[in-house]
Structures are given as C-alpha cells and as structure tokens.
Structure 1
Amino acid sequence: MAIYFTSGTTGSPKMAQHSQSSLRIGYTLCGRYWLDLKSSDIIWNMSDTGWIKAAIGSVFSSWLQGACVFVHRMAQFDTDTFLDTFTTYPITTLCSAPTVYRMLVQKDLKRYKFKKLRHCLTGGEPLNPEVLEQWKAQTGLELYEGYGQTEVGIICANQKGQEIKPGSMGKGVLPYDVQIVDENGNILPPGKEGEIALRLKSTRPFCFFSEYVDNPEKTAATVRGDFYVTGDRGVMDNDGYFWFVGRADDVIISSGFVHLPLLESNRLPGGISYLGDVVIKGFFSSSRYRIGPFEVESALIEHPAVVESAVVSSPDPIRGEVVKAFVVLSAPFKSSNPEKLTLELQDHVKKSTAPYKYPRKVEFVPELPKTITGKIKRNVLRDHEWGRT
C-alpha cells in the first residue's frame, strides 16, 4: 500500500491510498504506452517528488521498463540551465508540466541541438494548442499530452501512432472506460459538455485508489451511479478524443445581454410584437453562459504579449459573475500602455472564441500562484476576487 497526496489546486491536499496492483500494473501500462519507454531510454521527469507524476515518470513506470532516470539538482527552474543540460546529456524522453513548455517556447529553440531527445510529454494541466504548435515548429518534436489524477493515474493520453488534435487530451487509455456524464450519471453523446468520468461497474478497474485516508465522505462523493467522477468537465468528440473545459469549480456562469436599439414601433425585428403599443428605448435579452477558463487562456496565449494567464470568475453587480484574466506579459510588452493592451487582448479573445467569452476584467501580474508541482492555483485568485481571503 502507498499514499499519495493530491496537488491541492482546489483546496488542501488529500491523502489517496493506493494498492499494490494499482502501483505495479497501472504504472507498467503507463510506461509502455504513454511514456513509450525502452531499456535504452533516459527520461528526465521534472515533477516534484511529492506528486504522483514523479512516481509515474521518475520511479515505477520508468524502472518497470528498465529505463534510466535522469536527475538534476536545480534549486529552481531556469531555462538556460535546462537547455544547456539537453545539449550536454543524451536524454531521450522529457516529461514536464505545461508551465515549463510555455517558458521554453519564449526562447529561440532552433539555436539548440538536443543530443538524443525523441519523445516529449506533458500533463498536470491542460496544454494550450499554441504552445504545442510553437514547440513542434522550433524543435520538430510532437508534445504528447496526458490527463490523469492522483486517485486513478493516467485516464486519457495522446500516444505514439495516434493523430494529435491540438487542444485535445487524447483518447481514453487502458484499462479505463472513459465517458462524459451528466449530473445524474447518464452518459452524454459526443459534443455535449459534462463531467469526465470512469466506469466502475460491473468491474472496478484495478488502478483505482482505495480511499481518501480518514475522509469517507469525500471518498463516497466521487461515485455517481456507475461512475467515478473526476470533478473535471470536458467534451468528447465523434472520434473519441477528449477536450478539457475546466474544473467543475472553475467554470464561470455569466449572464450575457443583447441590446436592441430604440424602435419606433411595437415590432421587434422579424415582426415579433412586444408590450402592445408602448415604445421602449432599448430592449435587453439575457442568457446564461457556461465559460471554461482553459478556452479563454488558450486564446490569450496566442497573443504575443502573453506568456501565460489564469482565468477565473469575478463578481459583477449586473451579470452575477464575469470573466477575469490575470496575465503575465512577455518582456517586449511589459512597458505597454495597460489600458490600450487590455482592449487589444479583449478584442483578440472575442475574435478567437466568442464575444461573450472575452475577459471583462484584466489584471497584469508578474507571476501566477502555483503549487510546488507547477499547477496554477486558480482557487487562490478566485477566492481573492470574491473576498474569501
């Protein structure tokens, strides 16, 4: 038996207890099919040792395939040290959080010749399509994203031999039956947003955690009907690829208002009557929109001014809550006029996604709060916005 701590992106870390079969069999599948490791490989997994991804990439999955694990005692991540290491040592496989790749693509990577690098992986957070495309353009290498949790290991992945759809987490992996379900545990059809879930019945997969230690209520809350629910929302397309929307707690529910100008009759466009013969100076219709932060963040990072961003809900007296973006700027834009740049970024998101998804509030920050494993702590930013800190 082993206990792993969750990363704590939505609250205090929880202790997830795993069994012997979960460790050995689950990690064997991961090492063979996602990490694509052979006994001749050298893998550098940049995950902190407190995270299950370290156990996957740095210990069990690697050693079970007979691969060599590379270790570097960097006090903190430095892009120059990182790139010098890859030009010096014959590392074949790199596994790191998207944060590292977002920083690396800011460099001129074509100046560096990696000795043996052949396979690059990422996980822990969604990978922005723009980063994937920049990495491939500069290095010639694909980025294979994997999605998983401390509780259950790798759930979805882009694996060697599969087409990579930029922005997708890939397809469900063995031994899991991955589905999108609604609030009642019913399977949703392709294209419908719901919660990412794993089938538990009739046979419970052997890679599952046993329980949250000393927390039976939270353990029970992970089950909905025949499924284990991850707490993450997503969509599956017709080809079986999964697309991350956001943590259920991170999804922003905002009202959109459409204003129709002054009408000189009692007819709306299309011949629809309203309020008899009364003339109203302006007319509003409203809708409730579900906005996933990852889509907005991916749109923002397409702009050359943005190194990375975090999108959360922010209180609004009219709409209830609106989209707010915390943005880390690239060096050439740090002295830009903030009001002008805000309008430029808002317009960019409107054109890249949809008009109602743009961030109505933008704050430029030197860095984003992160866990020790490199995940953005959106809950810290959200709590600050809502006065809960």
Structure 2
Amino acid sequence: MLARVTRKMLRHAKCFQRLAIFGSVRALHKDNRTATPQNFSNYESMKQDFKLGIPEYFNFAKDVLDQWTDKEKAGKKPSNPAFWWINRNGEEMRWSFEELGSLSRKFANILSEACSLQRGDRVILILPRVPEWWLANVACLRTGTVLIPGTTQLTQKDILYRLQSSKANCIITNDVLAPAVDAVASKCENLHSKLIVSENSREGWGNLKELMKHASDSHTCVKTKHNEIMAIFFTSGTSGYPKMTAHTHSSFGLGLSVNGRFWLDLTPSDVMWNTSDTGWAKSAWSSVFSPWIQGACVFTHHLPRFEPTSILQIVDVNGNVLPPGQEGDIGIQVLPNRPFGLFTHYVDNPSKTASTLRGNFYITGDRGYMDKDGYFWFVARADDVILSSGYRIGPFEVENALNEHPSVAESAVVSSPDPIRGEVVKAFVVLNPDYKSHDQEQLIKEIQEHVKKTTAPYKYPRKVEFIQELPKTISGKTKRNELRKKEWKTI
C-alpha cells in the first residue's frame, strides 16, 4: 500500500501534530480525484515520444542520487529533503541528498573495510523501517554488493534457508533477530560478517552506530554495468520453497523511472509515503527508486506493526494472444525486447527460469482474461485452478463466497481427487469461535448451499474439512500447494 502525504493526513495523525510541512505537497481534491498530472499533459503523445536509453554503465547512487546532490548544492532543486523519518515517539530525522550521500558513503566504507566485502558479494538486510535500512540500500549500490532484503517476520528457519540459498557473505539486522542469526550462523559457511543496528554491543557483531561514528565519508562509487546483478528478492513461497529473483542495476534504477515520473507523477517538490514492509520488492519500488529518480522526498513512519488511521498480453498454451473474454495465462512480452524492469532470472535455477518462457512471453503463473474494454481480470494462480468435469474453477471466487457465511473465519480452496469428475472442489475452513460447537455435518450442508446460491452451482465445495488454522507464508499468503499435496498424496 502507498499514499501521498497530504496536509490533511498530517493534521489527522496525532504523531504528526508537532511537525511542520515543507515544500509543495499536493493534496487530493475534495471529490477524491487526484490533481492534474504534472509530468505529462497528453497520454498518447507521451506514449509516442517516450524513450528510455540504457547506457553501458549505470549506478543509481552515482548517476541519480549524486546528481540530485549537485542540483541541491546549485540551488536547482526545491528545499524538500531527500529523506524524512519519524516514529511513534515523535523522534524525527531529515536528510538532504548531500547528507544521504555522506552517510551512505560512510556505510559503504564499513562494508568494504570492516566487513571486507568485495564487489558481487551478497548482503542480507533484515531491518524494520529505520533510517539504516535506506543507508544500507545506497551503500550496497556504491560498493557493487548485492542486496537481499528480508522481512522482519522471518523465523530462524527462514533465515537459515535464505543464508544458505543465497550464499550471503554478510547480514545486517537488529537486536530482535540477531539471536536467530547466531543460532544458525555455524551452518552458513559463506557468512563472515554480521552488522547489528543497536544501542548495545553484541559479541561477534559489528555495531553499525559505533562504526558510523568513525567511518570516513570519502568513497569512490564502483563503476557497474547496467546488466550487473544489483539485488536479489526471495519470492513468497506460495508454490514450493521461496525462489531467488535477480534484478540488475538498470531494471530498477532505470526501469522504475516510468513509475516515478508517470505512474506516481512525482516531482522534486513532492513527499512520497509508501507503507510496504521493507522485506518486499514494493519497498524498493516506492520507498527508494521511484521517488528518488524524481528527486522527491521519501517519507516513512516507523511503527512496530501496520496500523490502518509492462505490457500484458492473455496467452494460450502455445504463447498465442487470446481474444477478449477467453481465459488464459497472463504473460508479459519479453521478445524482441525484454522490459528491464522485470527480474532477469531465478538465481541458480535455470530450469525454473526456462519454464516461465512461452513464445514471446514471460508467463507470470497467473490465470486471467481481458474484457472487451481492454481491462485485465485475475482469475487465479495457474497451479490453483481446479478442473472438475471439464469446468475450470478458480479458488478465489469460491473462497469469497465461503467467507461471506457467518460461520467462516478463513477458508482455502484446492482440488481433491475424484473417481468420476477427475477432481472436485475441496474447502478447508477455519470456523469462527461461536460456531465450533455446532453440528459439523449440518454446518457443511449449510455452507455448501450458501456457495451454490452465491456463485455458479458447479463451483460449490463437494468436500469440506474444518481445520484449526491455514498454513501460511511469512507474508501471510495461504499455502494452497501444501493443502493440495495433502489431498493428492495417496494417489
């Protein structure tokens, strides 16, 4: 989720009451429509004229951030800071692009000297929304080390898997997760450096706050080619173990210029607030690259937990584009020219990479269709589609119907083997507490009848099983593959 900071938002948030707004922050109109676009006036002419060159060498820190520093010094940029951070205790931090540059060069020297990291070495970063997360992002750019972000919700098992799979040489985290790292570090032969963001020292760890006090801010940014790997993101792991997706220096650093300029419509006078978890790629998109490409201010509010107050063509099995109304696989055209905002490959997994290509398209793994107006509609993950008696059934529609029944707290729908229909819809249901004592057979019938009335009758779950909780990934996504394997394991 993301939002643009407005004066109204700041007035309504108690934690912001003591803060002053600077620069030009565009608010929303009273009728909730956004303001007139600032970066283009006509979509068709913009689309025809737009061209993005890809140089042989590119580094976001040197070629974008340091350029904004130069404009800042020359008075050619509004007075907005580059970074504005607050927390619920009213603590506040603002950095200009010059200060961001100085601090990130100090961090870069720590990576190169104290941690002895070389260009291409891999750095796992697991921090909440603290300023050091942003400095680490830029420091890795400056040193040519490969950044691997992770959510703070990772468990000890998750951390071990990521350290071993990525062959990471360094990890940066805080007091909360340091014990989990220490518990598995001996099993990770490539890990030789650990940095902790803490007010306290910890044996075997370099204290980043102390190291920053003594580090030099003189550092020469490495000269990276545009197609060198810049970052690796682990997928959520909804269909098997999380896989590593690689992004180059240009895929985000240049590719997201479209997001920053045209989608988010940012200018150097704007403040951008993205509430995504720091472990997800969305945080890189809208908390780092998109706003800073445009010279906008990145705003973040650190809370312990969230508090609410490309071209797509649908294709068939042979890679042919389907007409409107026909369901198929959602694909992104990658030939003759691959969008460089798309990740390059699955790391150390060539067979998985090859399986995503069909004709001229990268197959996303999602099923959907395009309507007559050109809008795309998501149906389900391809693995989740149920084929029963020749009918294709997406689980989400059935789950939505199930969740409307008052007895259902959560549900997950998968295929289950059937001797007559091949497979049928099975629903795993977590009951609301008030219904756990009800007669289960009667409740199953009520739920099935409810689904028949809410959606097409053939989609109703012919099998229903009540369970205590659904298996989920770290990011909260239901592991349907786990439930599906349970159903089919005896076949």
TM-score above 0.5, yes or no: yes
Q: How does 1:155-174 map to 2 (within 5 A)?
A: none
CA positional deviation for 1:62: 5.4
Correspondent of 1:67 among 283, 287, 298: 298
Question: How far apart, CA to CA, are the structure 2 residues paired with 1:349 and 1:34?
Answer: 38
SS of equivalent to 1:313? strand
Q: Which amino acid aligns with 2:380?
A: G
Change (3 A) 1:58 1:71: farther
Alignment of structure 1 residues 238-387 onto 2, 5 Å: 238-255=372-389, 288-387=390-489
> Which residue in 1 is equivalent to 2:246?
17
> For 1:246, what is the secondary structure of its paired residue?
strand
Task: Output the CA distance in 1 between the equivalents of 2:426 and 2:340.
Answer: 41
The answer for the alignment partner of 1:40 in structure 2 is 271
For residue 187 of structure 1, what is the aligned residue in structure 2? 321
Which structure: greater helix fraction?
Answer: 2
Can you list the C-alpha shifts for 1:19-50, whole angstroms capped at 9, x where unaligned?
112112344444566667783354322x3x44
The residue number in structure 1 matching 2:236 is 7
Bigger mean CA deviation after superposition, 65-74 or 4-13 = 65-74
Decide whether the 8 Å contact of 1:296 with 1:349 is kept in 2: yes
Q: 1:43, 1:70 within 8 Å by CA — same for their partners in 2? A: no
Q: Residue 275 of structure 2: SS of its match in structure 1?
A: strand
Q: Per the alignment, do residues 364 and 186 of structure 1 end up closer, same or farther by CA in structure 2, a change over 3 Å counting?
A: same
Asked if residue 214 in structure 1 is aligned to residue 348 in structure 2, the reply is: yes
Question: Secondary structure in 2 aligned to 1:179?
Answer: strand
Letter in 1 for 2:233: Y
The alpha-carbon deviation at position 375 of structure 1 amounts to 1.1
- Does 1:197 find its partner at 2:331? yes
Query: Residues 339 and 294 (structure 1 numbering): CA distance in 2 closer, same or farther, change over 3 Å?
Result: same
User: What residue number does 1:171 align with?
Assistant: none
CA distance in 2 between counterparts of 1:41 and 1:213 reads 32
Distance, in Å, in 1 between the alignment partners of 2:263 and 2:455 is 31
Matched residue pairs, number?
258
The one-letter code of the counterpart of 2:328 is: G
Moved more, 333-342 or 61-70: 61-70
Cα offsets for 1:230-270 (capped at 9, x unmatched): 12111111122222222222111112xxxxxxxxxxxxxxx
Q: How far 1:311 moved relative to its partner?
A: 0.4
* Structure 1 residues 50 and 311: alpha-carbon distance in aligned structure 2, compared to 1, 3 A threshold: same
Shift of 1:199: 1.2
Return the match for 1:51 from 280, 283, 307: 280
Greater per-residue strand proportion = 1
Measure, in 2, the Cα distance between the counterparts of 1:348 and 1:356. 13
User: Helix, strand or coil: the match of 1:214?
Assistant: coil
The letter of the residue matching 2:462 is R
Shift of 1:204: 1.8
> Quick check: 246-255 or 58-67, which moved more?
58-67
Shift of 1:293: 0.9
Using the aligned pairs only, state the percent identity: 62
Contact 1:193 1:235 in 2 (8 A): yes
- Larger-Rg structure: 2
Change (3 A) 1:383 1:187: same
Partners in 2 of 1:236 and 1:20 — Cα distance? 33
Aligned amino acid, residue 445 of structure 2: L
Q: What secondary structure sits across from 2:254 in the alignment? A: helix
Tell me which amino acid in the other structure corresponds to 2:358. R
Secondary structure at 1:191's aligned position in 2?
coil
SS at match of 2:352: helix
Distance change >3 Å, CA 42–CA 53, structure 1 → 2: closer
Q: Judge which range, 51-60 or 8-17, deviates more.
A: 51-60
Q: Name the CA shift for 1:343/1:218 in 2 (closer, same or farther; >3 Å).
A: same
Q: Distance in 2 between matches of 1:9 and 1:37?
A: 34
**How many angstroms apart in 1 are the aligned matches of 2:468 and 2:263?**
34
CA distance in 1, matches of 2:490, 2:245: 27
Query: Deviations along 1:209-247, whole A, 9 cap, x unmatched?
Result: 122122222222211111111121111111222222222
**Residues 337-377 of structure 1, C-alpha deviation per residue, up to 9 Å, x if partnerless?**
22222111111111222111100111122321111011111
| Length-normalised TM-score, structure 2 | 0.49
Map of 2:186 onto structure 1: none
- Return the alpha-carbon distance in structure 2 between the equivalents of residues 354 and 295 of structure 1: 10
CA–CA separation in structure 2 for the residues paired with 1:311 and 1:382: 9
2:364 corresponds to which of 226, 230, 237: 230
Give the Å deviation of 1:188.
0.6
For residue 304 of structure 1, give the secondary structure of its aligned residue in structure 2. Answer: coil
Amino acid at match of 1:51: W
Counterparts of 1:80-119 in structure 2, within 5 Å, are 85-86=307-308, 114=309
Distance in 2, matches of 1:42 and 1:373, equals 21
**Which residue of 2 is the match for residue 163 of structure 1?**
none
Pick closer, same or farther for the CA change 1:231–1:358 going to 2, 3 Å: same
Change (3 A) 1:225 1:35: same
In the alignment, the residues of structure 1 paired with residue 345 and residue 424 of structure 2 have an alpha-carbon distance, to the nearest angstrom, of 36
Is the Cα contact below 8 Å between 1:5 and 1:50 reproduced in 2? no
Structure 1: give runs of 5+ residues left out of the alignment. 75-81, 87-113, 115-175, 256-287
